[in-house]
Amino acid sequence: MPNGPDRGFHPNFAEMPTDTAHIKPLKVADTAWPLNAADPGRLPVMETFYSLQGEGFHQGRAAFFIRLAGCDVGCVWCDVKESWATEGYLQKTVQQLADEAAAHPARLAIVTGGEPTLYDLSALCDALHQRGFRVHLETSGAHEVIGDFDWICLSPKKFKPPLESVCRQAHELKVVIYHRSDFSWAESYARQVSDSCRLYLQPEWSRCAQMAPLIIAYIQQHPQWELSLQLHKYVHIP
Ligand code: SF4
């Protein structure tokens, strides 16, 4: 899970329901994708915030986050199920989003979700590039990437496997380790990414105490992998 809500911390989430058992992932027909085909210049936005990238290769860098609403993956342990629906969120233009991003000093924008590849993101990438941003994507790889991204972080999910094409495009493979059997699952995706793709193993937050020692031992034996921790959760930033 990329940076995001620590319920009750971020102002946008203070009034969000904590009971999310009734929320179901989107069902998206191939014919309906991308969801913003009629108007690629407009996107449903769950939240925007300025923080530090908490995970992976760019950990610690200041960045403007754009969290789009809508996810059709449906991970059972997802702690941001509020992002699964698209209704009830502001539709913002890509120019609005680029203006919001440009109000901060960093020139790194991270597009996340939900699952942002539900949308044609080419207009958003163009608007951010025009303002001098590098544009990064956080995705499960569930759909083709539409947009000119400078960096793609692929975090595959068991509930909807990533497309091979997205595996080949990824600059960074970040696998969340929930169980000891997940190491072989991680290796199955390491075989699908490019030789230059960076490889990260990250303990699932609620299982960090159990999984971190296993991950450290695994990386010591398989040093092509690196450790990713959710830094933002340790320092209590969004
Ligand atoms: S892909 Fe991300 S937002 Fe979607 S269900 Fe999984 S963890 Fe939640």
Question: What would the mean pLDDT of 146-156 be, rounded to a whole number?
Answer: 98
- Cα–Cα distance measured from residue 65 to residue 54, given in angstroms and rounded to the nearest whole number: 11
pLDDT score at 120: 98
CB-defined site of ligand 1, < 6 Å: 1, 71, 73-75, 78, 80, 83, 113-115, 140, 157
Q: How far is CA 113 from CA 46, 65, 116, in A?
A: 8, 10, 5
Nearest CA to ligand 1 atom 3: 114
- Lowest average pLDDT, out of 3-7, 119-123, 180-184, goes to 3-7
Q: Decide if 5 is inside a domain.
A: no
238 CA to centre of ligand 1 in angstroms: 17
Q: Can you say which residues are annotated as belonging to the binding site?
A: 52-54, 67, 71, 75, 77-79, 112, 114, 155-157, 238
Work out how many domains the chain is built from and give that number: 1
Q: Decide if 1 is inside a domain.
A: no
Q: Decide if 200 is inside a domain.
A: yes
Ligand 1 atom with the smallest distance to the CA of 160 is 1
Read off the CATH number of the domain in which 125 is found.
3.20.20.70
63: domain range? 11-234
pLDDT score at 2: 61
Global pTM reads: 0.92
Could you report the per-residue pLDDT of 225-237, keeping only the tens digit for each?
Answer: 999 999 999 999 9
Of 216, 208, 204, nearest in space to 158 by CA = 204
Q: Decide if 6 is inside a domain.
A: no
Could you report the per-residue pLDDT of 29-47, keeping only the tens digit for each?
Answer: 878 999 999 999 999 999 9
